[in-house]
Structure 1
């Protein structure tokens, strides 16, 4: 049970860092960094879906 919250906190931090990298890439004008950060953040959201559905199925 506790591991779920640690995983959720870690994944939330990954998403927040991805958003910061998107903003940094846009501000610096680096297209590759921006695209990579968007893909990273999208992948983190995809990772979140099965994690939350697994949590809901255990209730």
Structure 2
């Protein structure tokens, strides 16, 4: 079962729930308002921009070395 992120527009809080796929979104645990599903956060390994940190080794994908 994956984690899903939800945002409550009424109380402006974010929540994560461990739920089955296709399961109905719960109500906000704080105020009872309707929760809106958020896009998942995805982190890609090695996606940081090393050129801006000054540690670039001359990669071809870097605009500094193009």
More strand by share: 2
Between structure 1 and structure 2, the one with the greater Rg is: 2
More helix by share: 1
Please give the range of the TM-score, normalised by the shorter of the 2 chains: under 0.3
Q: Which has the higher contact order (CA 8 A, sep 6+)?
A: 1
Scaled by the length of structure 2, what TM-score is found? 0.25
